[in-house]
Each structure stands twice: as C-alpha cells, then as structure tokens.
Amino acid sequence: MKLFDAHAHVFTGDTDRYPIDVTNAKESPEALIARIRDNPIDAARLLAEWDAAGVSGGTAVQYNSIYKTDNRYMLDVVDAHPGRMSAVLILDATRPETPETLTALARAHDVVGLRLFGFPGPDADYPWFDSPAAHRTWEAVAANGLAMDMMYVPGPPTRNVIGRIVALAKRFPDMPVLIDHCGWPHVDRGDEGTIGEELLEMREVRNIQFKFTGINFNRFAPAGIDPARFVRRMVDTFGVERLMWGSDVGNTRESYADMVAMAIGAMDLLSDAERAAVLHDNGRRVLGPRRG
C-alpha cells in the first residue's frame, strides 16, 4: 500500500547549531529538553522509519513546540533530500516582513505551505490569522501557489474560529486550506457525534481539506471512538479527495510502525481507491515535493 506522510515533525539534538525555544509547549520545558536530547526525530531517523514502513515521501511540518518560527533545521533537512520531502513553514503572519520572507524562502527551498499556529485572543478573536496584517500573508501564500495549514488550539472547534477560516478560504478559492488534526473533532458524543455543526460549516468549501493524524487516534482511544467509523464519516461528509493522512511523528509518541498500522486499520471501511487517496494520493498532490 502506497503511503505519503503529510505531517511529520523533525528536530535534532544539535542545539548548538539549531537553538531551541521551548516556551509555551504542552510539555514542561524539562521534559521537552530531555526528549530533544535523548530521543530526537532527526532526518536520518525519519527517513529510516519511512523506508521501513514503505513511505514514499512526506512533508516536514515546522514544530512549534521546539523551534517556533526558526525554520532552519527543517529547511536544511528538506534541502538535503530533494524529491523525498517538502516543507511547511511557521512564520508570524502579522509581521510586516513576513510576505517578503515567505516569498524568498519559497523560491530558495521546496516549500509547499505555511502553518499558522495560535490560541484565541482575549476578545475571542484570532489576529494571528484573521487581521489586516495577517491577510497580507494570506495573499503571499496565494501568490506563491502554496497551501495554508491551520492549527488553532485548543479544541474542540468553535463557530467563531471555523467561520473565520471559512471566510478566508472563500476569499482564496484556489488555495488549499488544510485543517490540522481534522479540526479537533468532538470526543464526548460517541462515534456519530464526532463531526459537529462547527465542522459541518466547512462542508461546501471545497478547498478546505483535513489532515487525519496521530493526535486523532490518541484522543479517540480513551473515548472509545472507532477511527474507521470516523474516517468513513469524514469521507462521506466532505468527499474522499479532502482527507489525507499524516503521522504526527515527532509529537505523537507511538512507534512509527504502530502509527502506520493504526492508519491502515482506520481505512477498513473504505474501498481500495479511497484508501489510496487518503493514505497517499491526496497528501502527495497537495504537499508533495516539487523539486528533485
């Protein structure tokens, strides 16, 4: 079965060459620093995991918990493996220099997207992605033919955040707008309640697509939610072309072999063509390497 990993995090224990910033991570700074030191997911390890699992390639997604907007390590990894790996950056969309920075990085490296990461503001607003300053970054993403990757926290989704994303996706209809971790589906309503009214607001906006990752498995297991039934409902609700698999390796802690096994198991209620689309084709089409 062909696999493309649309959501992999890489980081190195070489903190002298690649300084870290572990503020505001979900782990304690001490635990995260220990993991960076003792259990890094560097380029060599990730590629070995991909080779062992039969993963043809994938996308390195900047890891906010460790590097914030310093994309140097990820870009060095992608540059060293042309044709095998692409990059999704994290930048501050509100900074005036970001559109120019994004354009320069996209020209110099195999960049396929920009990830915006943040929490709601004190007035339940989201200036980090929905403000006049941030809109200029959206325009730069569109001008460079990239995808916009949305990571809002904490979940579950609200109509406020989803409504803002829907409005921007409609404003840029040719831009793939990716929703990390399937938008934090509900886990307190059983199998049939995972896709609530909030996520349904995105149903008719065809350029909005969803990444199904290890975080979803970790949230579903304690609630007794069947991942295969969830995937079937996502495909039936949004269309098979709008769902892609990403491991979340580097953040999710299961072994990579277990991540792949869980992903394949979650495809049990799909046809062979649907499985291929979710596990490989959709991720490769939207986020696949463009160089090499």
For residue 122, pLDDT over 90 is answered with no
Give the separation between CA 69 and CA 77, rounded to whole angstroms.
Answer: 16
pLDDT score at 155: 83
For residue 94, pLDDT over 90 is answered with yes
* Average pLDDT score over residue span 250-277: 98
| pLDDT, tens only, 127-167 | 999 999 999 999 999 999 999 999 999 888 999 999 999 99
What's domain 3-287's superfamily in CATH? Metal-dependent hydrolases (3.20.20.140)
pLDDT score at 257: 98
For residue 11, pLDDT over 90 is answered with yes
Give the separation between CA 108 and CA 89, rounded to whole angstroms.
Answer: 13
Read off the pLDDT band of 171 (50, 70, 90).
Answer: very high
pLDDT higher for 263 or 156? 263
Short-list 67, 85, 64, 70, CA closest to 4: 85
CA dist 67 to 58, 127, 169, 218, Å?
20, 21, 27, 24
pTM given for the model: 0.97
* Average pLDDT score over residue span 83-107: 98
pLDDT score at 1: 86
Give the separation between CA 185 and CA 102, rounded to whole angstroms.
Answer: 30
Give the separation between CA 131 and CA 86, rounded to whole angstroms.
Answer: 28
Give the separation between CA 151 and CA 276, rounded to whole angstroms.
Answer: 25
Average pLDDT of the chain is: 97
pLDDT score at 58: 98
pLDDT score at 154: 85
Domain ranges of the chain: 3-287
